[in-house]
Amino acid sequence: MDIEKVNSMDFGEFVDVFGNVIERCPLIAAAVWSQRPFSDLEDLKKHFFAFIDALPQSGQEGILRCHPDLAGSELRRGTLTAESQREQSAAGLTSLGAEERLRLAELNAQYRARFGFPFVLAARF
């Protein structure tokens, strides 16, 4: 996608296209839209990072809380975002055996109990 197209998007289209750049946080895309025009795609990316970096720690942790557990209930229910579904599938998390799923669920629960948000890993290859 070229930057002219990005800069010409109205609010709704921009949020539709970029609303899941940060998992389930379309408000970030909404805030970044107001920073148009962007000089190039790198500039667009810098605005996303700058917005997140400017958040207090609690806001950054809130972003992490939006992420699904790896091989968790959302995967089993089929309610992952398309991006997360592709990532978890590519990482082999959709083909775990029952024992592996149980162990990962235990690890997910331990991590969440300790840190207050899910273990987040870019499971892309």
Point out the residues that are catalytic: 67
Distant-in-sequence, close-in-space partners of 14: CB < 8 Å, separation ≥ 6: 6, 29, 30, 33
Residue 14 CA to residue 82 CA, distance in Å, equals: 18
How crowded is the C-beta side of 53, counted as CA atoms within 13 Å? Answer: 6
* Both structure tokens of 70: 């790896």
Distant-in-sequence, close-in-space partners of 17: CB < 8 Å, separation ≥ 6: 1, 9
Residue 75 CA to residue 80 CA, distance in Å, equals: 6
